[in-house]
């Protein structure tokens, strides 16, 4: 959406329903949005707009009287050019020059289906609703949607609601605006969307700021469109209580642990055919409880942790670890016919859960929830090397983007332990803000889009951690993330990186859903969330190469009563967000050359080099060239070395761009 702003002065005050609604001219600089890039749609993309491309005025409740909660919101009715149409993205203009409309504020984004084309009815429930976060000082916020919200006939209404009653003048509109196509209209609410009325019926028409149309646009895709939806179900008749899931690096195989039947399901992603392999002592006798699973990088071996209890390890407060037997890890080896079979078992601490391998696959890190430690296994000899003390009840381990650090979620102490994989020593503990019942972090994943850690915390939401600073950045909340019963069982269970790292998938066992976070902007984009089964457990993502294209599939373990695996199609996320850096290529010698788009707000360049757990900066300021499509970075690193000294031939360099809005993009490069 190309928009400009007319810089004028004026003020009009209207009194309505005991509220002061102010429409004032908004003096701020305009910024163009980016057009859709990278992802080729399967259908025809059309941007729907009823504004005239100029933001002349801003509206909002201002500072409402004490005790009044206005629930101010604004929305546009839009009509697709053809049917069926799938809603792909929403772009909303916010007045960032006015008071109170500050970075990281949360607004509820709502979408109503309107087949009668007469606007939202009284107390109509939105077809989609999610929490949108304002990023930095950007005027236009673009929210990509991946859930299957389809319009079969008529129109749809999309808008924003000030859910925290911040006030101010957040909503931008043009003057006098236009209604194109016919039947389009702008609406306003003062009661959190319980009822809406047209903007033209609400506003008088002062000479300096006639009511027009809100700066709210949407992009729809007509004809076939891939959406975030279930595309299949796999049932292994030998499986009871599917629990953990892992995909190999090639995306060709998925392993699912079956906690109640002491076996694993091996799935070929090309056709979802399956095999079953016994682990532990097999069915019968004492429960082995296969829980977590990890593939070696070459896919020839896999490691399954055996929890050793007939109690499903979801809420660890209910488990008496003192009576558990010693934990074990089953080593699965691929046979000549392609099937996995158990070879040996390795003794570890009590209550092992979700393990992780070092980047080269030489060491296995096993979180032992019953002994508050990580056991380190040599995968060549299958012998335990050492024990690393961490927080209380460690549940999962995941390595950083470069593999130099390991992050361990500590369910009992509401923290994340950081371990150097170079020295196998703990660096620090990161505390997660706890509720009365604790934060209860259970699992984590690292995004390849920004390198940050995303922690599934039962009582806090999805917690984002900056892996350069090893500090909490923010907590991502949404109805599909919050547990249905804060003090009861369930809640967020597992997170997994997907879409070449642009997204993080999550499962929530309280409402039985799976969702997707766009980690480029830390925004839930699966609205409404996808109902997958009664009790979703683990999740993993596989990128499957076909003869024509690659497709992304998420595999969700569904516990009892379903005892199945739900396969979910995951669409790509387009690079269509204004001022979000897009790195296309990188080269370096005496200087670093980074080519791409949307570099105008890039503030600094950092790098992660082999053999270091630190993010290094440069001694010189970066330079922007060629209309902000090229970054030149010279200077020595903050540790005194040059890039060529720090990165040997064959070594991997990770470049990290941070912009003024706090957005981070990374790029991986191997020196040749």
Give the highest mean pLDDT range of 195-204, 268-277, 518-527, 658-667.
268-277
Give the mean pLDDT of 451-457.
95
- DSSP-derived 3-state class of residue 108: strand
Sequential DSSP letters for 308-330: --SS-TTSGGG--GGGPPPEEEE
pLDDT at 34 over 70: no
Q: Which residues, including other chains, have CB under 8 Å from residue 121's CB and lie 6 or more apart? A: none
Model confidence pLDDT, tens digit, residues 124-160: 999 999 999 998 888 899 998 888 788 999 999 999 9
Question: Is the CATH code 2.40.10 the one for domain 582-670?
Answer: no
- Note the pLDDT of residue 199: 82
- Note the pLDDT of residue 478: 84
pLDDT at 178 over 60: no
- DSSP-derived 3-state class of residue 545: strand
Sequential DSSP letters for 378-401: ETTTTEEEEEEE-SSSEEEEEE-T
User: Do 229-570 and 582-670 agree at the fold level?
Assistant: no
Least confident of 28-37, 257-266, 489-498: 28-37
Choose between 481 and 389: higher pLDDT: 389
- Structure-token pair, residue 336: 């000549």
Cα→Cα distances 155→121, 195, 558, Å = 13, 18, 36
- Note the pLDDT of residue 112: 96
Q: Which segments of 469-612 are extended strands (E)?
A: 471-476, 492-498, 503-508, 513-518, 523-524, 530-531, 536-545, 550-558, 564-570, 582-588, 592-597, 602-608
How many residues are listed for the chain in this entry? Answer: 672
Give the mean pLDDT of 258-262.
96
pLDDT at 176 over 70: no
> Number of H helices and number of E strands within the chain?
2, 53
Tokens 């209550």 found at: 351
Give the mean pLDDT of 109-131.
93
Choose between 35 and 464: higher pLDDT: 464
- Give the global pTM: 0.86
Model confidence pLDDT, tens digit, residues 291-310: 999 999 999 999 999 999 99
Give the mean pLDDT of 640-645.
93
Give the highest mean pLDDT range of 22-26, 388-392, 651-655.
388-392
Sequential DSSP letters for 143-158: EE--S--EE-SSEEEE
- Note the pLDDT of residue 183: 59
Cβ neighbours, 10 Å, residue 280 = 21
- DSSP-derived 3-state class of residue 618: strand
- Note the pLDDT of residue 437: 62
- Note the pLDDT of residue 205: 62
pLDDT at 567 over 90: yes
- Note the pLDDT of residue 436: 63
- Structure-token pair, residue 577: 């967000």
- DSSP-derived 3-state class of residue 69: coil
The superfamily (CATH) of domain 229-570 is YVTN repeat-like/Quinoprotein amine dehydrogenase (2.130.10.10)
Model confidence pLDDT, tens digit, residues 499-527: 766 899 999 988 899 999 999 999 999 98
- Note the pLDDT of residue 321: 95
Structural domain boundaries of the chain?
4-222, 229-570, 582-670
pLDDT at 27 over 50: no
Confidence of residue 64 (pLDDT cuts 50, 70, 90): low
**Which residues on neighbouring strands pair with residue 108, listed in sequence order?**
131, 161
Model confidence pLDDT, tens digit, residues 417-436: 999 999 999 999 999 986 66
Least confident of 41-55, 327-341, 400-414, 614-628: 41-55
The answer to whether residues 556 and 514 touch, using CB atoms and an 8 Å cutoff, is yes
**What φ, ψ does residue 664 adopt, rounded to 5°?**
-130, 135
Sign of CA dihedral 498, 504, 505, 509: positive
- Note the pLDDT of residue 63: 66
Confidence of residue 620 (pLDDT cuts 50, 70, 90): very high
Provide the mean pLDDT of the chain: 87
């Amino acid at each position: 959406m190309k928009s400009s702003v007319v810089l004028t002065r004026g003020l009009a005050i209207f009194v309505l329903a005991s509220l002061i609604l102010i429409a004032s001219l908004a003096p701020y600089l305009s910024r163009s949005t980016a057009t859709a890039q990278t992802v080729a749609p399967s259908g025809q993309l059309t941007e729907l707009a009823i504004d005239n491309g100029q933001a002349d005025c801003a509206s909002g409740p201002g500072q409402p009287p004490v005790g009044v909660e206005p629930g101010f919101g604004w929305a546009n009715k839009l009509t697709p050019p053809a049917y069926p149409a799938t809603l792909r993205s929403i772009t909303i203009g916010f007045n960032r020059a006015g008071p109170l409309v500050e970075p990281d504020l949360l607004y509820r984004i709502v979408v109503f289906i309107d087949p009668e084309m007469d606007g939202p009815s009284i107390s109509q429930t939105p077809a989609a609703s999610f929490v949108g976060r304002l990023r930095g000082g950007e005027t236009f916020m673009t929210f990509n949607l991946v859930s299957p919200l389809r319009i079969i006939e008529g129109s749809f209404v999309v808008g924003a609601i000030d859910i925290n009653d911040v006030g101010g003048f957040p909503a931008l509109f043009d003057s006098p605006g236009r209604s194109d196509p016919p039947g389009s209209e702008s609406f306003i609410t003062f009661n959190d969307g319980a009822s809406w009325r047209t903007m033209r019926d609400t506003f008088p028409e002062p000479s300096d700021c006639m009511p027009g149309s809100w700066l709210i646009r949407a992009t729809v895709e007509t004809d076939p469109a891939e959406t975030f939806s279930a595309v299949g179900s796999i049932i292994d008749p030998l499986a009871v209580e599917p629990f953990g899931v892992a995909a190999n690096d090639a995306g060709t195989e998925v392993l699912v642990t079956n906690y109640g039947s002491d076996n694993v399901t091996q799935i070929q992603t090309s056709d979802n055919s399956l095999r079953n392999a016994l682990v532990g002592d097999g069915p019968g006798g004492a429960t082995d409880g296969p829980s977590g699973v990890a593939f070696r990088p070459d896919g020839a071996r896999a490691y399954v942790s055996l929890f050793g209890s007939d109690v499903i390890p979801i809420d660890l407060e209910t488990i008496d670890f003192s009576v558990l037997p010693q934990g074990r890890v089953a080593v699965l080896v691929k046979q000549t016919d392609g099937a996995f079979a158990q070879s040996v078992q390795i003794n570890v601490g009590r209550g092992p859960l979700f393990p992780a391998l070092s980047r080269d696959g030489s060491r296995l890190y096993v979180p032992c929830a019953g002994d508050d430690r990580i056991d380190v296994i040599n995968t060549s000899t299958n012998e335990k090397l050492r024990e690393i003390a961490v927080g209380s009840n460690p549940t999962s381990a995941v390595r950083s983007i470069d593999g130099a650090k390991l992050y361990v979620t500590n369910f009992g102490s509401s923290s994340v332990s950081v371990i150097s994989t170079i020295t196998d020593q703990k660096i620090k503990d990161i505390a997660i803000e706890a509720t009365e019942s604790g934060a209860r972090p259970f699992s984590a994943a690292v995004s390849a889009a920004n390198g940050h850690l995303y922690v599934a915390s039962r009582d806090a939401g999805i917690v984002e951690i900056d892996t350069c600073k090893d500090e909490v950045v923010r907590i991502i909340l949404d109805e599909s993330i919050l547990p249905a019963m804060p003090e009861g069982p369930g809640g967020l269970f597992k997170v997994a990186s997907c879409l070449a790292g642009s997204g993080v998938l999550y499962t929530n066992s309280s409402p039985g859903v799976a969702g997707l976070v766009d980690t480029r902007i830390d925004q839930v984009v699966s609205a409404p969330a996808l109902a997958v089964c009664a009790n979703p457990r683990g999740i993993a993502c596989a990128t499957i190469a076909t003869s024509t294209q690659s497709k992304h599939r998420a595999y969700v373990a569904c516990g009892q009563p379903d005892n199945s695996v739900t396969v979910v199609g995951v669409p790509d996320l387009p690079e269509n967000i204004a001022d979000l850096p897009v790195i296309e290529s990188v080269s370096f010698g005496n200087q670093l050359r980074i080519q791409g788009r949307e570099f105008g707000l890039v503030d600094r360049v950092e790098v992660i080099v082999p053999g270091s757990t630190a993010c290094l900066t440069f001694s010189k300021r970066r330079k922007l060239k060629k209309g902000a499509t090229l970054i030149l970075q010279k200077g020595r690193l903050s540790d005194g070395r040059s890039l060529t000294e720090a990165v040997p031939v064959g070594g991997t360099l990770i470049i990290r761009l941070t912009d003024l809005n706090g957005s981070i993009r990374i790029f991986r490069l191997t020196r040749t």
